Amino acid sequence: MFTFHSAFPLCSRRDIDRSSNRGPALDIHFDKAEARFDGRVTLHPLTVRLTERRIGVIGLNGSGKTTFARMINGLVSPASGNVVVNGFDTKADTDRARAQVGFIFQNPQNQIILPILKEDIALGLTPRKLSKAEIEARTAAILARFGIGHLADRRSHELSGGELQLAAFASVLVTEPDILIMDEPTNQLDLKNRNLVARTISELPENVIVLTHDLDLIADFERVLLFDNGRLAGDGNAAEIIARYRELAA
């Protein structure tokens, strides 16, 4: 069961949904979806359905994890087959499929582009055509949610690694996606910031798909997918799939 006990006030409108056992939607369907780059198959035809709230994606370097994740938000279009996200086909309905998914990139420096943090967060709300007051209120609320309201006026390049990762979460979650994909969220963090980010992820009400080499991060996830050479080589509970990955990597 999901409980809030963090130093961060992570509650959002979604908690109201969750109290009635209806979390944000998560229904991702890969139907014989294949990815190719320059004619080379990088993800072999994959059929899988994902509905769990916490999904880990593991595998050796170059095994196809990022390609798989980018297919979910339409950044990579299937060469054949389909990917349908909460009912929207990523090829036929790219914008609406993409609106379901917030993607947190491997390097948070690439996520925060404007010099002042609160301006960067507000940037994500520009397409909504909200009033200035509403944008300021939503920006302040999302920064407060991650316990970084005091950093609103700071220059983003001055933030620490952990602060920057939390800022990247805020910059994506301000757009209220139902599904959050994180590519290596604990990469390059020291142990303290790694633990802070891990705790924050575990307390997020949103659906989360995490690509990682940090196996402890996903040890209690409901489902883990293992990729090997562009194929799904394992799909099951975390303990079983992590054990299989250790064998594969040995």
Ligand X SMILES: Nc1ncnc2c1ncn2[C@@H]1O[C@H](COP(=O)(O)OP(=O)(O)OP(=O)(O)O)[C@@H](O)[C@H]1O
Residues contributing to the site for ligand X (CB under 6 A) = 37-38, 42, 59, 61-67
- The DSSP secondary-structure symbol of 155 reads B
Report the residue number, 68 or 146, with the smaller CB distance to ligand X: 68
Nearer to ligand X, 75 or 130 (CB): 75
Residue by residue, DSSP assigns 196-210 as HHHHHHHH--SEEEE
- Minimum Å distance from CB 76 to ligand X? 8
CA–CA separation, 51 and 54 (whole Å): 9
Question: CA-to-CA distance for 68 and 58, rounded, in angstroms?
Answer: 11
Nearest to 167 by CA among 127, 205, 116, 133: 116
Minimum distance, C-beta of residue 208 to ligand X, in the bound complex (Å): 17
Q: For residue 235, give the 3-state DSSP assignment.
A: strand
Whichever of 12 and 67 has its CB closer to ligand X, that residue is: 67
Q: Which amino acid is at 90?
A: T
From residue 100, alpha-carbon distances to 74, 85, 125, 127 in Å are: 11, 7, 15, 15
For residue 120, what are its two tokens? 């960067």
Nearer to ligand X, 179 or 225 (CB): 225
**Least distance (Å) between residue 71 CB and ligand X:** 10
Quote the crossing angle between the two packed helices 191-203 and 161-173, to the nearest 10°.
20
Smallest distance, Å, CB 109 to ligand X? 17
Burial of 78 (0-12, 13-18, 19+ CB in 10 A): buried
Amino acid (one-letter) located at 23: G
Minimum gap (Å) between residue 56 Cβ and ligand X: 13
Q: How far is the CB of 168 from ligand X (least distance, A)?
A: 17
Q: Kindly state the smallest distance separating residue 181's Cβ from ligand X, in Å.
A: 12
- Residue identified by tokens 């002042």 is 116
| Nearest residue (CB) to ligand X, 44 versus 91 | 44
Cβ proximity to ligand X: between 142 and 168 the closer is 168
Report d(CA 129, CA 11) in Å as an integer.
24
Q: Which is nearer to ligand X, 64 or 147 (CB)?
A: 64
